[in-house]
Amino acid sequence: MNIYKGTGAAKGQALANVIVLREDNYEITKIQISEQAVKKEEEKLKTARASYCRELEDIYDMTVQSLGEESAQIFSAYKEIAMDDVFFAQVLKRREQEQCNVEYALQEEKKSVLKMMESIDDAYIRERAADIENVCKEIIKGILGMQTSDTGLKEQKDDFIVVAGDLSPEDTIRLDKKYLKGFVTEKGGKTSHTVILAKTLGIPAVIGVPGICDKAAGMERIYINGETGEVAGDPDEALITQYQKAKEASESQKRELEKLAQKEAITIDGYKIKICVNTGDQESLNSLDAKICDGIGLFRTEFLYMNHKGYPTEEEQFAVYQTAVQKMEGKEVVIRTLDIGGDKQLDYMELPKEANPFLGYRAIRICLDRKEMFITQLKAILRASAYGSVAIMFPMIVNLEELREAKELVKEAMRRLDSLKENYDKEIKIGVMIETPSAVLLSDKLAREADFFSIGTNDLIQYTTATDRMNEKVQYLYDSCNVSVLRAVRLVAQNAHKEGIEVSICGEAASDEMLIPLWAAMKINKLSMAQAQTMKIKYIITRLSVKEQEALCGQVLEADTMEEVKKYLHSICP
């Protein structure tokens, strides 16, 4: 048994089979092939194509079941390319002419096709080029005997833990969630989308384990502890027994907490905090349960755009928002407008490559620039408001000008709906996400022009402490217990209350057990989190007294160091 140490990012323990998803690192060199070996080369290509096609069929079926036909279409498009005999005949012709290895011929043929396509200025052609690139890459990996990136994403028969360098949101979409028991990554931050998905599914995640992909390749089973960050390859009997005991204890605690599922979160001295859920990805949309929450506090709409090959239409968006609104049975649904850019990239949007994407063309900046795309989304959200209680929320606002311009575009969307005689809530609430130091410092002014605030601590920590939320090297600085972050939250809450508007927290810090007394003392009105976290947080709130926490809040915000903050908070967490 070998033990490795990373950072615990989503709580819980798991023990299961290992699936390693490797990044696609390979180098292809030209090798001269003798006459005798020609057949073998051709055979390698044939086998790799056939096995990739079979794999795509499985993934297609699995995706239809979990995400629907539309999301699965990408895999049938890939299969069409993999089955294109004309293209692969060209590959074999090139191999013959150059008497070289087949993977080299495939790579070169792909390059020449892509070059030709590049010269055509058409979005559809560019999309096809990206598909060809992907298919050729997978087939080359097959020829080289490497695992394809889709391996392990097919339907599984046993519990498994994914070990990866890092996972993109697209990778996580393709995972078979039924048997997925946890994540271990070499890279990534505590608020990466892998970690957010882990919390949604209620499974553990450990991040920042250097070299774990290589180490895990030789393991059969792996144990992970999402609290301590401990990872063990092929655990010994003692660890297995310890794990089983912990599992039983956590299951019994879960049964206890379930009793609170439908209760409200009210402190001992009568202060109610709304407990809402974060959603937007398919898993959490499927499991939404209006009975156990006070509504949706953050609907991340970018997943809708990620599951698509091009911009989702107004109708497609409306259908998804409407379903969520109806599922909430009149409880409020806060829909955040598109927050793409930063770590969330989309090929078809053709976002520029930037040196500092988190400081660049992102979120509301894109929406205010691509106005028609934005108005399409706003119309879809407004139409959904005719079916329940909906609010609109803008991400990454840094000044009043942006808020005013975005509100103008809401009015424009309303005018267009009026001319079509469409129904919508004319008094719809419009809120601002507080995610940047500038929004914090302008929160007095923003509070006069917004209907509510929602503090996005994931980004607020990153921008306040100048710490990339995805960079594992600087995760020690990325901490919600940084006094500057806590002071920022308090200032925003005070300014919101002065103007009589609601303030909520929807970043991961909303469900950080240790911080709940502090949020209660700051009179945060709403906490929004993964549905799986809600019961635990209700449990904590029902054991708190706001009055008792107020003095502590003052002490914590005067602390010198993060360690001191944590010491105070540990001493009072109920």
- Binding flag, residue 459, ligand PEP (CB under 6 A): yes
Within 290-329, the residues that bind ligand PEP by CB under 6 A are 298, 300
- Binding flag, residue 511, ligand PEP (CB under 6 A): no
* DSSP 8-class letter at 337: P
- Binding flag, residue 456, Mg ion (CB under 5 A): yes
C-alpha–C-alpha distance, residues 5 and 472, integer Å: 13
Q: 424 is written with which tokens?
A: 């919508």
Rounded alpha-carbon distances, angstroms, from residue 566 to 191, 288, 514, 547: 19, 33, 8, 20
Q: Which of 213, 276, 367, 506 is catalytic?
A: 506
Within 206-235, the residues that bind ligand PEP by CB under 6 A are none
Rounded alpha-carbon distances, angstroms, from residue 271 to 82, 372, 405, 545: 60, 43, 36, 8
Give me the phi and psi of 461, to 5 degrees please. Answer: -65, -45
Looking at 62-70, 122-130, 259-267, 452-460, which segment touches Mg ion (CB under 5 A)?
A: 452-460
State the minimum distance, in angstroms, from the CB of residue 469 to Mg ion.
Answer: 9
- CA geometry: angle 35, 41, 42, nearest 5 deg: 105
C-alpha–C-alpha distance, residues 216 and 204, integer Å: 17
C-alpha–C-alpha distance, residues 207 and 212, integer Å: 10
Task: Evaluate whether 381 touches 336 at the Cβ level (below 8 Å).
Answer: no
Cβ closest to ligand PEP, residue 388 vs residue 456: 456
- Binding flag, residue 431, Mg ion (CB under 5 A): no
Cβ closest to Mg ion, residue 363 vs residue 532: 363
Task: Evaluate whether 276 touches 507 at the Cβ level (below 8 Å).
Answer: no
Cβ closest to ligand PEP, residue 334 vs residue 569: 334
> Among residues 330, 276, 324, which one has the least CA distance to residue 301?
324
Could you tell me how many residues of this chain bind Mg ion (CB under 5 A)? Answer: 3
Looking at 52-60, 288-296, 453-461, 550-558, which segment touches ligand PEP (CB under 6 A)?
A: 453-461
Cβ closest to ligand PEP, residue 182 vs residue 456: 456
Q: Binding residue for ligand PEP (CB under 6 A) from 172, 301, 377, 458?
A: 458
Q: Which residues are annotated as a binding site for Mg(2+)?
A: 435, 459
* CA 284 from centre of chain: 11
Cβ closest to Mg ion, residue 294 vs residue 435: 435
Task: Evaluate whether 206 touches 8 at the Cβ level (below 8 Å).
Answer: yes
> Among residues 64, 190, 178, 246, which one has the least CA distance to residue 461?
190
Looking at 182-190, 309-317, 452-460, 533-541, which segment touches ligand PEP (CB under 6 A)?
A: 452-460
Q: Which residues are annotated as a binding site?
A: 300, 336, 435, 458-459, 469
- 3-state SS track over 293-312: CCEEEEEECHHHHHCCCCCC
State the minimum distance, in angstroms, from the CB of residue 337 to Mg ion.
Answer: 12
- Binding flag, residue 385, ligand PEP (CB under 6 A): no
- Binding flag, residue 435, ligand PEP (CB under 6 A): yes
Q: Which of 100, 193, 308, 481 is catalytic?
A: 193
State the minimum distance, in angstroms, from the CB of residue 66 to ligand PEP.
Answer: 22
One-character DSSP codes across 469-485 = TT-GGGTTT--TT-HHH
Annotated active-site residue 506? The verdict is yes
State the minimum distance, in angstroms, from the CB of residue 193 to Mg ion.
Answer: 11
State the minimum distance, in angstroms, from the CB of residue 226 to ligand PEP.
Answer: 19
Cβ closest to Mg ion, residue 489 vs residue 520: 489
- Binding flag, residue 468, ligand PEP (CB under 6 A): no
From the number of C-beta atoms within 10 Å of its C-beta (0-12, 13-18, 19+), residue 427 rates as: exposed
* DSSP 8-class letter at 341: B
Cβ closest to Mg ion, residue 33 vs residue 461: 461
- Binding flag, residue 283, ligand PEP (CB under 6 A): no
Annotated active-site residue 213? The verdict is no
State the minimum distance, in angstroms, from the CB of residue 397 to Mg ion.
Answer: 11
Q: Which does 506 bind (CB under 5 to 8 A by kind): Mg ion, ligand PEP, none?
A: ligand PEP
- Tokens 């540990």 belong to 570
- Binding flag, residue 507, ligand PEP (CB under 6 A): yes
* Burial track 209-244 (b if 16+ CB lie within 10 A, e otherwise): beebbebbeebebbbbbbeebbbbbebeeebeeebe
State the minimum distance, in angstroms, from the CB of residue 330 to ligand PEP.
Answer: 24
Number of CB atoms found within 10 A of residue 34's CB? 7
Cβ closest to ligand PEP, residue 101 vs residue 191: 191
Within 166-195, the residues that bind ligand PEP by CB under 6 A are 191
State the minimum distance, in angstroms, from the CB of residue 363 to ligand PEP.
Answer: 8
Looking at 124-132, 218-226, 384-392, 450-458, which segment touches ligand PEP (CB under 6 A)?
A: 450-458
Q: Binding residue for ligand PEP (CB under 6 A) from 138, 339, 472, 502?
A: 339
**Amino acid sitting at position 59:** I
- Binding flag, residue 459, Mg ion (CB under 5 A): yes
Rounded alpha-carbon distances, angstroms, from residue 154 to 171, 186, 203, 216: 12, 22, 19, 19
Distant-in-sequence, close-in-space partners of 161: CB < 8 Å, separation ≥ 6: 14, 16, 17, 18, 19, 180, 181, 182, 183, 184, 222, 224
> Which residues of this protein are in contact with ligand PEP, per CB under 6 A?
191, 298, 300, 339, 435, 456-459, 506-507
Active site residues: 193, 506
Chain residues that interact with Mg ion, rule: CB under 5 A: 435, 456, 459
